[in-house]
Amino acid sequence: MNSNIDLIKTSQDSVNEYIRKMEEISENSLKAKVITHGCQMNEHDSEKIKWLLEKMGYKLIEDDNEADLVILNTCSVRHSAEDKVYGQLGSLKHLKTTNKNLKVAVCGCMMQRQASRDYVIEKFENVDIIFGTNNIWKLPELLYKSYNGQKLSMDIQNKYLDLDNNLGANRLYSYKSYVNIMYGCNNFCTFCIVPYTRGREKSREADEIVDEIKSLIDKGSKEITLLGQNVNSYGRGLENKTSFAQLLYRINDIKGVERIRFMTSHPKDISDELIYAFRDLDHLCNFLHLPVQAGSSRILKLMNRKYTKEDYLRKIDKIRQVNPDIALSTDIMVGFPGETEEDFEETLDLVKRVEYDTSFTFLYSMRSGTPAAKSLNQVPDKIKHERFQKLLDILYPIQYEKNKKFINKTVKVLGEDISKKDSRKISGRNDEFKLVNFNGSAEDIGKIVNVKITSVNSFAMEGVKVE
């Protein structure tokens, strides 16, 4: 038998054994809270963590003060995300003085970085358990050791093990689901910490993914979001060769699938085959997130993005030739080391030419361990903020004009939650991933309903439900 399969079988037996041991300790009386930072990948990891907790007999709650266990699932993409975690650990340190039995666990991308991990160990003695992104399945064993007197119960794996695919998940929603199709990243953009925290690329077999999606559809899921750090490179290294576009065509044919989304695409790897999928597949949503990061070819080279501004614009032109109405989203970074005023003007020019429907904009954040952090040509914060505001002043009017085109049109919206701005309304997303608030009731959550758009701003749309 293959040694990796032996390892997975042994590990699975170990997981089940420690779940049983923790059940005896918890006796269904322990309560846990999971706090999630970061991307959809982290959200899905937290679904797995919650599944394990319930298997061990924990009741999931939202109040820190009632918790016997608090787990922070962390993000390290930007410094501000780490600072938020440190602040929460400080609050939990205080809480632990009043609740001596409280266990605190920290997991996720921050813990895969040795510098962040060492800082947590040094500054926060209240942390009992540490694990990384590649060994969520170790949680029952780490908890058991902590309850049996181990001061710091810690396990970090640098290599992804297939066992995580055998874990269940406490799905946040019954009507929409995240599905990992691959893990890790091989691109090593000079600003990004992900390859160091998530490891190198590894794709799941297509049959395994399809089977998981069929199971989710049977349980009521209407919308499937495929996750990977770079889904466009899916399939490399698989024994049964499958491209990302081929995987999409297979998923589109699954009976009961209503919507397919995916995150995230790398521009250098988007293929013609994938572009044509936006023409051919009736369940693939009319939305593409294609992070550009910067509009200057010089800066893109310093970022190690492996495409130029002209390459990117050619991809956009081809996409719009195939699907003129597609909604486009992007990531834009302001203030990368060495960015000049001329480089920034190139970014503004690209934004005007592409006219994005939505965008995720952020200031460059120095991440230790990445090549860009070593640059002596850092952009002063004052200049970063000035440029950032200039960018928003161009992006927001474009987004408003894009949304205006939907006024008086009827769109299909998946009801997702009670609106945060008006408890009398339901919020959800249309096919183009635009946020829509409409008059409805809790019965509309989890359903795809017709909504006539009545008004818009740069960030959301308002509408009324119609039959």
Is 285 a known ligand-binding residue? no
CB atoms near residue 245 (< 10 Å): 21
Angle of helix 341-354 versus helix 309-322 axis, rounded to 10:
10
Cα Rg of the chain, angstroms: 23
Phi, psi of 285 (to 5 degrees): -65, 150
Residue with structure tokens 């893990």?
183
Tell me if 75 is assigned to a ligand binding site: yes
Amino acid at site 172? L
Query: What tokens appear for 364 in the block?
Result: 């460059």
pLDDT of residue 420: 87
One digit per residue, the tens of pLDDT, for the chain of length 467 reads: 344 545 455 577 888 899 999 999 988 899 999 999 988 889 989 999 999 999 999 999 999 899 999 999 999 888 888 999 999 999 999 898 888 889 999 999 999 988 899 999 999 999 999 999 888 989 999 999 999 999 999 998 766 555 556 566 667 788 999 999 998 899 999 999 888 888 888 899 999 999 999 999 999 999 999 999 999 999 988 888 899 999 999 999 999 999 999 999 999 999 999 999 999 999 999 999 999 999 999 999 999 999 999 999 999 999 999 999 999 999 999 999 999 999 999 999 999 999 999 999 999 988 888 999 999 999 999 999 999 999 999 999 999 999 999 999 999 999 999 998 898 999 999 999 999 999 989 999 999 999 999 999 999 999 999 98
Distance CA 419, CA 206 (A): 36
Residues contacting 389, CB < 8 A, separation 6+: none
Q: So what's the pLDDT on residue 194?
A: 84
C-alpha span between 149 and 168 (Å, rounded):
29
- Domains of the chain and any CATH numbers: 4-155 (3.40.50.12160), 173-405 (3.80.30.20), 409-465 (2.40.50.140)
Q: Which residues of 303-338 are buried (b: 16+ CB within 10 A; e: fewer)?
A: bebebebeebeebbeebeeebeebbbbbebbbbbbb
Residues 367, 371, 373, 377, Cα dihedral to 10°: -150
* pTM recorded for the entire structure: 0.85
* 189 annotated as ligand-binding: yes
- Pick from 379, 355, 349: which is nearest to 365 by CA? 379
| pLDDT at residue 368 in the model | 81
Q: What angle do CA 457, 461, 464 make, to 5 degrees?
A: 140
367 φ, ψ (degrees, to nearest 5): -115, 115
